Amino acid sequence: MNQPLLFWFRKDLRLTDNTALKAAAQTGRPIICTYILDEDNDLAWPLGKASRWWLQESLKSLGLSLQQYELQLVLRRGDSVEQLSQLIKETGASSLYFSAQYEPSSLTLEQKVNLALKDQIEVKRFKGYLLYEPNENTTAEGKPYKVFTPFYKACLKKPPSTALPAPEQISAYPEYLASDDLLDWDLALDTPTWAQEYPPIWKPGEDGADWSLQAFIRQGVGKYPELRNRPDIFGTSRLSPHLHFGEISPRQIWNAINQLNNTDNEGVASYQRELIWREFSYNLLINWPDFPEQPFRSEFKAFPWHDDDSALHRWQQGQTGYPIVDAGMRELLHTGWMHNRVRMIVASFLIKDLLIPWQQGEKWFWQHLLDANLASNSASWQWVAGCGADAAPYFRVFNPTLQGEKFDPNGDYVRQWVPELDQLSKAHIHTPWEAPAEELKLAGINLNETYPSPIVNHKEARLRALAAFEVIKHKSQPAA
């Protein structure tokens, strides 16, 4: 008898370049596809509110794609081991195939699944979420890299292979299986009202990922090095949510971008470098599992942080009085995304102008980013804070006014997300507190009523931050 095979979807919600699914299809055996919502698996970092909305829409899309093969996406909720065991009991499946994940909780879960089921059925784990398997690239001593550049060079010596096409045929399990109704999971129940703005902006799912990739290619990858820092211009790929949920693989993106190398060499290299930053972030997370909670450089545990709930709230709501910071925070609230340059600006402001612990910003981003990725999110926050691997120097404190003037020169980004400043001139769009009284009046702005004055004086805050860093300056050695 041709016993069925159980395929467990995780963060690989696609058909193309899905190594595990391709291998399952090639067996010719009847396939049972399932997704399990296991909310107790990661109590430290449960799925954020914005990500829950994306997951709901992505599963809808995946279900429709599987229908083309006459496959049912069986949705189950609860403990993964229990639900997989139940499906095996119901169907007589003799194999379990799934794609590997690399967060600490995911690795622990995979070990539990293997331990619980290996004596009952064949359990096979496949790669595909990263370009390179963990610790595939190590130093000459066989140790994980702590600095990006040598890691990057090591990766470039091993170009990714060609992406796999979607299976031509998949044998479907002939019987209908009990399945939860996706809407009964209420994944978007706790999503704030501003999430109603997501649908016009985003198209979760494999088709949406491909559309975003092709749109990025059409706009000209060669412009990426120049435009990637301009939040007022659509100059980035916006593929990060799709990549996070596995609706597209990093290998697909790498291959597609690499085909443009003859005409857009600089742009291709710049974008591929960003893909390898994602790999580096996972290199850190895998080898230092407490990376999301603890500073990589242990001396930063002695940093004199300043707890200020009021200031934190004003930062979260985009009410700091610094237009570029407020624009970024409001873009995040309304779209579930923030331009990468602005992410650095708002992070620097929280950490260095307000001296609020980076973990507070990390947690806020985790809840509100559609692309909330544990490895990249924690690595980015530690980089800005100066406490991570290969981090920004401690004395680099972004000036939010100069950053706004440089990267949003006409104020278009600020006008979009901070509409109360819309009528200000280009000269004062980033410094409303310096605008003449007559201009403020004509623009309908009453400082501290319609728009706040700066929460801190940046020059004074910078000196305070540098003084704080002096406390640990002479202890700055990387964590072991």
pLDDT one-digit tens code per residue, 351-400 = 999 999 999 999 999 999 999 999 999 999 999 999 998 877 777 899 99
Give me the pLDDT at residue 1, please: 53
- Residue type for 410, please? N
Candidate list 136, 185, 194, 274, residue with the active-site label: 274
Give me the pLDDT at residue 157, please: 95
Is residue 97 domain-shared with residue 156, that is, in the same domain?
A: no
Number of CB atoms found within 10 A of residue 122's CB: 13
Instruction: Please confirm, yes or no, whether 274 is among the known catalytic residues.
Output: yes
Is residue 97 domain-shared with residue 134, that is, in the same domain?
A: no
Is residue 136 domain-shared with residue 260, that is, in the same domain?
A: yes
Domain C-terminal end among 128, 147, 176: 128
Is residue 120 domain-shared with residue 144, that is, in the same domain?
A: no
What is the rounded CA–CA span in Å between residue 466 and residue 275? 32
Candidate list 185, 194, 277, 433, residue with the active-site label: 277
Is residue 153 domain-shared with residue 50, that is, in the same domain?
A: no
Residue 77 β-bridge partners:
37
177 within a domain of the structure (yes/no): no
174 within a domain of the structure (yes/no): no
Is residue 345 domain-shared with residue 404, that is, in the same domain?
A: yes
> How does the average pLDDT of the chain come out, rounded?
94
186 within a domain of the structure (yes/no): no
Is residue 90 domain-shared with residue 150, that is, in the same domain?
A: no
Beta strands in 116-196 (DSSP E): 122-126
Is residue 142 domain-shared with residue 281, that is, in the same domain?
A: yes
Is residue 258 domain-shared with residue 120, that is, in the same domain?
A: no
Chain-centroid distance of CA 460 in Å reads 33
Candidate list 305, 399, 420, 439, residue with the active-site label: 305
Instruction: Please confirm, yes or no, whether 340 is among the known catalytic residues.
Output: yes
153 within a domain of the structure (yes/no): yes
- The CATH code of the domain that includes 433 is 1.10.579.10
Instruction: Please confirm, yes or no, whether 194 is among the known catalytic residues.
Output: no
Candidate list 358, 364, 366, 417, residue with the active-site label: 358
- The CATH code of the domain that includes 252 is 1.25.40.80
Give me the pLDDT at residue 479, please: 43
Domain C-terminal end among 265, 287, 309: 287
Give me the pLDDT at residue 245, please: 98
- Residue type for 14, please? R
Reported as half-sphere exposure (CB side, CA atoms, 13 A), residue 226 has a value of 6
- Residue 52 near residue 190 (C-beta atoms within 8 A): yes
**Structural domain boundaries enclosing 63:** 5-128
220 within a domain of the structure (yes/no): yes
Give me the pLDDT at residue 478, please: 46
Q: How many domains does the chain have?
A: 3
Structure tokens that stand for 129 in this block: 């979420």
Domain C-terminal end among 287, 310, 331: 287
Structure tokens that stand for 271 in this block: 């974008």
Give me the pLDDT at residue 42, please: 86
Geometric angle at alpha carbon 212, from 208 and 216, rounded to 5°? 170
- The CATH code of the domain that includes 54 is 3.40.50.620
Give the orientation angle of helix 323-335 with respect to helix 309-316, to 10 degrees: 70
Instruction: Please confirm, yes or no, whether 277 is among the known catalytic residues.
Output: yes
Instruction: Please confirm, yes or no, whether 381 is among the known catalytic residues.
Output: yes
54 within a domain of the structure (yes/no): yes
Residue by residue, pLDDT tens for the chain (480 residues) are: 589 999 999 999 999 999 999 999 999 999 999 999 999 988 889 999 999 999 999 999 999 999 999 999 999 999 999 999 999 999 999 999 999 999 999 999 999 999 999 999 999 999 999 999 988 999 999 999 999 999 999 999 999 999 999 999 999 999 999 999 999 999 987 765 655 667 788 999 999 999 999 999 988 888 899 899 999 998 899 999 999 999 999 999 999 999 886 666 888 999 999 999 999 999 999 999 999 999 999 989 999 999 999 999 999 999 999 999 999 999 999 999 999 999 999 999 999 999 999 999 999 999 999 999 999 999 999 999 999 988 777 778 999 999 999 999 999 999 999 999 999 999 999 999 999 999 999 999 999 999 999 999 999 999 999 999 988 876 554 444
Is residue 396 domain-shared with residue 312, that is, in the same domain?
A: yes
Give me the pLDDT at residue 431, please: 98
Give me the pLDDT at residue 480, please: 40
Is residue 282 domain-shared with residue 385, that is, in the same domain?
A: no
434 within a domain of the structure (yes/no): yes
Give the burial string for 422-456 (b: 16+ CB within 10 Å, else e). eebeeebbbebeebeeebbeebebeeeeebbebbb
Is residue 305 domain-shared with residue 283, that is, in the same domain?
A: no
Instruction: Please confirm, yes or no, whether 288 is among the known catalytic residues.
Output: no
- Of the candidates 230, 227, 235, 360, the one whose C-alpha atom is nearest the C-alpha of residue 306 is 360
